[in-house]
């Protein structure tokens, strides 16, 4: 059975029901996420761009980069590279000696990024790496060149704290002492700011969440009636986790042919689809406590909404 089918079945048979957020990102989901990043309410992307634009020198210092010695700058899930370009431009213009390795699962995203970088930063050496992060890192670890890993956008926040620790620990096994991880995370803040980022006025986030059911309809021959499910986000500042749910607005039965089963929904029953963890120093310290990283620096945007933490591989 393919993994998608297996995970959908497991999630819908669980109580309470869940579906993994990693399945948001099909072609339509990717396009909706680009729209999300451009929304007025979604402050995360703008805040991290503010750091990369206006605190570039601080980033370079905190990463302990110097012009005389070669390093590899490796980005996990590079996307369109908007934020990273700010750093790359400065490094190239100031003659730092490095190669840029963007890693992405999507060959198409990498091809577009490479083309764009060729025109925008002609002198940059780009070595695109298509594939799973850890498979690529495993091949890169064969050389002992100093490495800087970029993991931006609060992508770590879509993992539970326990899985975040495992992820960072595993990154460490692919690095050497002295290598660095630049971890971009959203910070815990008031619900008036976080809430709208996950419940925008145009309904883009709602479409992004509900698209998961549309994907199941298409790929697993299901009959979710998309008008009978609603996007329902939740956030409370004490916990610091934005959660997305899909709520069934009525009592209904959904058939998923590829699984060969039907699933019952009560009126008001929720499917938990995503967590977006927000952080503070204490949480970051706790998450890295059982990894081979120590906290070196924290660089924030002008509103202190977002932080890029620099972690040293010990």
Chain positions contacting ligand AVI, by CB under 6 A: 36, 44, 153-155, 157-158, 198, 205, 208, 274, 276
Q: Considering only CA atoms, which of 238, 273, 281, 303 is closest in space to residue 43?
A: 303
Which residue's CB is nearer to ligand AVI, number 23 or number 208?
Answer: 208
CB 244 to ligand AVI: min, Å? 6
CB 98 to ligand AVI: min, Å? 26
Q: Considering only CA atoms, which of 144, 63, 134, 148 is closest in space to residue 100?
A: 148
Query: Hey, is 237 helix, strand or coil?
Result: coil
CB 35 to ligand AVI: min, Å? 10
Sheet holding 98-104, edge to edge: 129-130, 98-104, 71-76, 147-151, 180-186, 306-313, 293-300
CB 90 to ligand AVI: min, Å? 25
Which residue's CB is nearer to ligand AVI, number 19 or number 140?
Answer: 19
Which residue's CB is nearer to ligand AVI, number 208 or number 293?
Answer: 208
Which residue's CB is nearer to ligand AVI, number 199 or number 291?
Answer: 199
Q: How far apart are the first and last CA of the chain?
A: 41
Quote the CA–CA distance of 265 and 142 in Å, as a whole number: 51
For the record, the structure tokens of 305 come out as: 């909404």
For residue 212, give the H/E element and its range: helix 204-219
List Cα–Cα distances, 191 to 187, 234, 242, 271, 301, in angstroms: 12, 9, 9, 22, 19
Round the CA-based radius of gyration of the chain to a whole number and report it: 20
Q: Name the residue with the smallest CB distance to ligand AVI.
A: 276
Contact assessment for residue 177 and residue 314, using Cβ atoms and an 8 Å cutoff? yes
CB 25 to ligand AVI: min, Å? 9
What DSSP line would sit under 215-232, residue for residue? HHHHHTTB---GGGEEEE
Which residue's CB is nearer to ligand AVI, number 124 or number 164?
Answer: 164
Angle between helices 281-288 and 161-173 (to 10 degrees): 60
CB 138 to ligand AVI: min, Å? 24
CB 45 to ligand AVI: min, Å? 9
Which residue's CB is nearer to ligand AVI, number 152 or number 256?
Answer: 152
Which residue's CB is nearer to ligand AVI, number 174 or number 276?
Answer: 276
Q: Beta partners for 100?
A: 73, 126
For the record, the structure tokens of 44 come out as: 């995360």
CB 155 to ligand AVI: min, Å? 5
CB 140 to ligand AVI: min, Å? 24
For the record, the structure tokens of 134 come out as: 């850890």
Which residue's CB is nearer to ligand AVI, number 129 or number 205?
Answer: 205
Q: Considering only CA atoms, which of 5, 1, 10, 4 is closest in space to residue 272?
A: 10
Which residue's CB is nearer to ligand AVI, number 18 or number 276?
Answer: 276
């Amino acid at each position: 059975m393919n993994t998608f089918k297996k995970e959908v079945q497991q999630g819908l048979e669980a109580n309470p029901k869940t579906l993994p957020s990693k399945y948001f990102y099909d072609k339509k989901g990717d396009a909706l996420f680009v729209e999300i990043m451009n929304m007025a309410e979604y402050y995360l992307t703008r805040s991290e761009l503010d750091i990369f634009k206006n605190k570039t020198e601080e980033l370079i210092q905190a990463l302990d980069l110097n012009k005389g010695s070669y390093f590899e700058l490796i980005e996990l899930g590079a996307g369109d590279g908007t934020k990273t370009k700010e750093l790359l431009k400065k490094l190239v213009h100031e003659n730092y000696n490095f190669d840029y390795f963007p890693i992405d699962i999507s060959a198409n995203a990498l091809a577009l990024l490479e083309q764009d970088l060729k025109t925008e930063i002609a002198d940059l050496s780009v070595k695109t790496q298509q594939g799973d992060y850890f498979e690529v890192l495993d091949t890169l670890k064969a050389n002992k060149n100093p490495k800087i890993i970029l993991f931006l956008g609060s992508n770590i926040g879509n993992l539970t704290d326990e899985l975040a620790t495992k992820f960072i620990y595993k990154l460490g096994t692919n690095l050497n002492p002295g290598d660095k991880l630049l971890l971009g995370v959203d910070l815990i803040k008031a619900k008036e700011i976080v809430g709208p980022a996950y419940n925008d006025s145009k309904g883009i986030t709602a479409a992004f969440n509900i698209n998961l059911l549309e994907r199941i309809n298409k790929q697993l021959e299901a009959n979710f009636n998309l008008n009978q499910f609603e996007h329902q986000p939740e956030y409370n500042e004490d916990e610091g986790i934005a959660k997305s749910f899909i709520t069934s607005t009525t009592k209904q039965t959904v058939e998923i042919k590829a699984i060969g089963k039907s699933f019952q929904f009560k009126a008001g029953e929720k499917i938990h689809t995503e967590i977006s963890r927000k952080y503070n120093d204490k949480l970051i310290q706790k998450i890295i406590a059982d990894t081979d990283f120590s906290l070196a620096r924290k660089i924030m945007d002008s509103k202190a909404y977002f932080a890029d933490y620099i972690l040293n591989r010990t």
